[in-house]
């Protein structure tokens, strides 16, 4: 189409206040086209995507054919051996992970904004190791973690997953605690022998925060502070406006797969043009790079990070095009702010790429963040058993300021949900297939270094994977 | 009183009354909307999309006259319909089928209303 031209047989149906958008409907196939007056209308046909066999348009470009492997061996000095699958299948190995990893690590339980008022609390239940942790903001405004267990006869204090209270009360015999966990009152106290109330507060659980995330540690004396665990990540994201992104959408699902496989699903860009062929893949690919590569991949003491770029000229189906146009100015400003040397988080866009899209940051073992200029989302992986994982996904952005932004938000949220369902569906299929015993190993490219990191860090803590 | 009646009825704002045949798509609450949209038959999704997407820019412009969170009842109905369209556009434009293909997980992935910003 010539610049500004409407498609043949198309009827212009409107121009909105976003000056760049014109909408056309094509009379012949009812396909709706959006375009900028000065540029060709964007026509997106699903058939383009669906009917080409996946390999035909994904022949490696000359520059990619040779490969550019460097992150695994050269940069990080790791070996490139395949990984044994048995580490994801064995209940005995999972018991080791429970003791050596989940009982000893900093685990995310939510965002500080959920507990903004004194007396606000949440309860996080874990299956491995079995625990129920109550996080509460005290009247002194301090966040504290406790085992959700009464000091009298071990009844669970709160049945609710969240709420607000002025005191904590055990419904069994009425023992009463204040918001700092101190035992305040025991009914009929005179019937007890030598009850030392000052020693019978709720049992504390270590708690620390980072960029608004609340972490707890089930180890009564954690081996290290959160800042030591996070190492360079602790300050490396400073400057990103986490606190402004207060508008949350959250889902939870029980996934039938080992926790590491679920985590592996969000660790590389290699799968994008294939697993997300229908939804999001084209935003990350171009003629020059039909199979995308990360801009950089780094492994940290307790996690890792990859920086990813995308195709800034990608075309999208009409509703996505509209949703992205609505927030285009906001996105542009946010990109500029994050590129400003005074604000740029030190670990963002290390290569200074023009087509920078965002950062994926892994905090081992159970938090993974995807950070974009105008929003971030995070996965929380909570193991239930060797073959099941509770997965929570939350997306945070600034509260919408107009209906247009609400529409855009609703659509981008629906898009995220569809995209992650594609991932998680594959994860359950992998786990079922892995359980057939057909394969002893899986193989990782240099682009899948953070998948490798999951398994390497696990084996460093819980010992080598079993051999069968 | 008139507002109350309007809130109880299926009246869309003047200029959009022709869309009242899609009033079942006016679903309050994001979590409920996600569920109900995803559970709809594909032909219904596609008919809704074909009829309403060409009007979406007009709808957005109309609703943006009002401050966020202060929509009159008939505008609220229209807003909830437009937000359903934002959901339905995913299967219609991307998959040409009601669900993410082969996906068995959707029904097991509830929206957590208590921590989400949109009730």
In chain B, which residues have their Cβ closer than 8 Å to the Cβ of A320? 89, 93
Q: Inter-chain contact B111–A253, Cβ cutoff 8 Å?
A: no
- CA-nearest residue to B104 within chain A is A425
Partner A contacted by B1 (CB < 8 A) = no
Measure the CA–CA gap between A401 and A65, rounded to whole angstroms. 46
Partner A contacted by B85 (CB < 8 A) = yes
- CA-nearest residue to A12 within chain B is B54
- Residue A314 pLDDT class (50, 70, 90 cuts): confident
Q: For residues A189-203, b (16+ Cβ closer than 10 Å) or e, as one string?
A: eeeeeeeeeeebbbe
Measure the CA–CA gap between B54 and A12, rounded to whole angstroms. 10
Complex ipTM more than 0.90, yes or no = yes
Does residue A63 have a pLDDT over 70?
Answer: no
Does residue A392 have a pLDDT over 50?
Answer: yes
Does residue B6 have a pLDDT over 70?
Answer: no
CA distance A211 to chain B (A): 18
Measure the CA–CA gap between A244 and A267, rounded to whole angstroms. 26
Cα within 13 Å of Cα(A365), Cβ side: 29
In chain A, which residues have their Cβ closer than 8 Å to the Cβ of B55? 13-14
Q: Which pLDDT score, from 0 to 100, does residue A16 have?
A: 36
Does residue A17 have a pLDDT over 50?
Answer: no
Cβ–Cβ contacts within 10 Å for residue A85, how many? 23
* A358: Cα separation from own chain's centroid: 13
Contact assessment for residue B92 and residue A411, using Cβ atoms and an 8 Å cutoff: no
Residues 10-49 of B with CB under 8 A from A: 30, 33-34
Q: Which pLDDT score, from 0 to 100, does residue A177 have?
A: 98
Measure the CA–CA gap between B116 and B119, rounded to whole angstroms. 7
Q: Inter-chain contact A248–B116, Cβ cutoff 8 Å?
A: yes
Mutation target among A403, A417, A425, A433 for the B interface, most CBs of B within 10 A: A403
Interior angle at CA A427, CA A423 and CA A428, nearest 5:
125
Q: For residue A340, what is the DSSP state?
A: S
Q: What are B37-84's pLDDT values in tens digits?
A: 989 999 999 999 999 999 999 999 999 999 998 999 999 999 999 999
Partner A contacted by B110 (CB < 8 A) = yes
Q: Which pLDDT score, from 0 to 100, does residue B118 have?
A: 63
Average pLDDT over residues A238-259: 96
Which of B4, B2, B21, B20 is closest to B12 using CA atoms? B20
Q: Which pLDDT score, from 0 to 100, does residue A31 have?
A: 42
Does residue A192 have a pLDDT over 90?
Answer: yes
Interacting residues of A63 by C-beta distance below 8 A, sequence separation 6+: A288
Structure tokens at A371: 């950070």
Interior angle at CA A8, CA A6 and CA A10, nearest 5:
65
CA distance A389 to chain B (A): 13
Which of B61, B90, B112 is opposite residue A250, by nearest beta carbon? Answer: B112
Contact assessment for residue B21 and residue B78, using Cβ atoms and an 8 Å cutoff: no
Structure tokens at A2: 């010539």
Which of B61, B66, B89 is opposite residue A411, by nearest beta carbon? Answer: B89
A129 cis-preceded (ω within 30 degrees of 0): yes
């Amino acid at each position: 189409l010539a610049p500004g031209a409407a498609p043949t047989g198309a009827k212009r149906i409107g121009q909105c206040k976003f000056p760049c958008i014109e909408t056309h409907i094509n009379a012949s196939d009812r396909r709706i086209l959006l375009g900028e007056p000065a540029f060709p209308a964007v026509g997106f046909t699903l058939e383009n995507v669906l009917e080409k066999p996946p390999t035909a348009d994904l022949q490696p470009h000359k520059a990619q054919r040779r490969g550019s492997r460097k992150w695994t061996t050269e940069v990080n000095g790791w070996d490139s051996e395949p990984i044994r699958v048995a580490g994801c299948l064995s209940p005995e190995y999972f018991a080791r992970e429970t003791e050596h990893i989940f009982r000893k690590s900093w685990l995310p339980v939510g965002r500080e904004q959920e507990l903004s008022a004194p007396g606000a609390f949440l309860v996080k239940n874990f299956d491995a190791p079995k625990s129920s942790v109550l996080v509460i903001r005290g009247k002194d405004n301090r966040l504290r973690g406790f085992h959700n267990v009464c000091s009298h006869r071990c009844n669970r204090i709160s049945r609710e997953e969240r709420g607000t209270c002025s005191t904590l009360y055990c419904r069994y015999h009425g023992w009463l605690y204040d918001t700092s966990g101190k035992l305040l009152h025991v009914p009929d106290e005179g019937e007890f022998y030598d009850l030392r109330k000052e020693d019978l507060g709720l049992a504390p659980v270590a708690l620390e925060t980072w960029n608004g995330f609340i972490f707890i540690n089930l180890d009564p004396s954690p081996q290290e502070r959160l800042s030591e665990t996070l190492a360079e990540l602790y300050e490396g994201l400073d400057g990103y406006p986490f606190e402004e992104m207060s508008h949350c959408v959250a889902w939870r699902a029980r996934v039938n797969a080992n926790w590491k496989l679920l985590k592996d699903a969000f660790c590389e860009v290699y799968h994008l043009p294939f697993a997300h062929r229908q939804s999001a893949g084209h935003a990350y690919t171009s003629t020059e790079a039909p199979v995308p590569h990360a801009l950089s991949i780094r492994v940290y003491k307790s996690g890792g990070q990859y920086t990813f770029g995308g195709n800034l000229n990608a075309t999208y189906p009409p509703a996505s095009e509209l949703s992205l146009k609505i927030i285009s100015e906001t996105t542009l400003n946010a990109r500029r702010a994050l590129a400003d040397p005074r604000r740029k988080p030190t670990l963002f866009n290390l290569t200074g790429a023009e087509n920078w899209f965002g950062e994926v940051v892994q905090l081992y073992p159970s938090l993974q963040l995807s950070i974009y200029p105008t929003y971030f989302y995070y996965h929380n992986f909570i193991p239930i058993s060797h073959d099941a994982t509770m997965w929570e996904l939350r997306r945070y952005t600034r509260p919408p300021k107009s209906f247009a932004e609400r529409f855009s938000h609703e659509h981008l949220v629906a898009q995220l949900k569809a995209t992650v369902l594609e991932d998680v569906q594959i994860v359950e299929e992998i786990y079922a297939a892995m359980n057939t015993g057909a394969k002893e190993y899986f193989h990782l490219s240099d682009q899948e270094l953070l998948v490798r990191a999951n398994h390497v860090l696990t084996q460093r803590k819980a010992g080598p994977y079993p051999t069968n | 009183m008139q507002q109350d009646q309007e809130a109880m009825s299926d009246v869309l704002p003047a200029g959009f009354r022709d869309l009242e045949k899609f009033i079942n798509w006016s679903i309050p609450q994001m979590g409920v909307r996600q569920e109900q949209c995803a559970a709809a038959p594909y032909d219904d999704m596609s008919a809704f999309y074909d009829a309403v997407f060409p009007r979406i820019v007009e709808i957005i412009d109309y609703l943006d006259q009002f401050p966020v969170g202060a929509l009159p009842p008939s505008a609220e109905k229209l807003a909830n319909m437009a937000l359903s369209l934002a959901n339905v556009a995913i299967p219609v434009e991307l998959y040409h089928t009601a669900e993410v293909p082969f996906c068995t997980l959707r029904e097991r992935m509830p929206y957590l209303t208590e921590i989400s910003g949109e009730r």
